[in-house]
Amino acid sequence: MADKPTSGEILGVPYNFDRPSLSRMISSYWKPGEGMLVEKPFGVGYTLNLANWRSWVVVLVAGALLWQQEQSTSEASEESEDEPVEVIVDDGDD
């Protein structure tokens, strides 16, 4: 039986299942002069190139959205705990 390739491309999407070394991990996330997306050091697809300023914009926007979501859920839980709830039951005997 032939050995299966551990890296390559399927339908334009790169994959790499070679065991990553520390230097390969660092060099794959920091590629000056490359675009915003680069091939993942391990797995399938692309990841952010942290040497590109656009990647930092994406990280900051994602962080701000996550922070906003956490704030809104904590405020909603605080509001629901503080106020009593009035329940009206209708007998239907009107």
Q: What is the gyration radius of the CA atoms in the chain, in angstroms?
A: 25
What tens digit of pLDDT does each residue of 2-56 get? 678 888 998 999 999 988 889 888 888 999 999 999 999 999 999 999 999 999 9
> Is the pLDDT at 66 greater than 70, yes or no?
yes
Identify the burial level of 38 via C-beta atoms within 10 angstroms of its C-beta, where 0-12 means exposed, 13-18 middle and 19 or more buried: buried
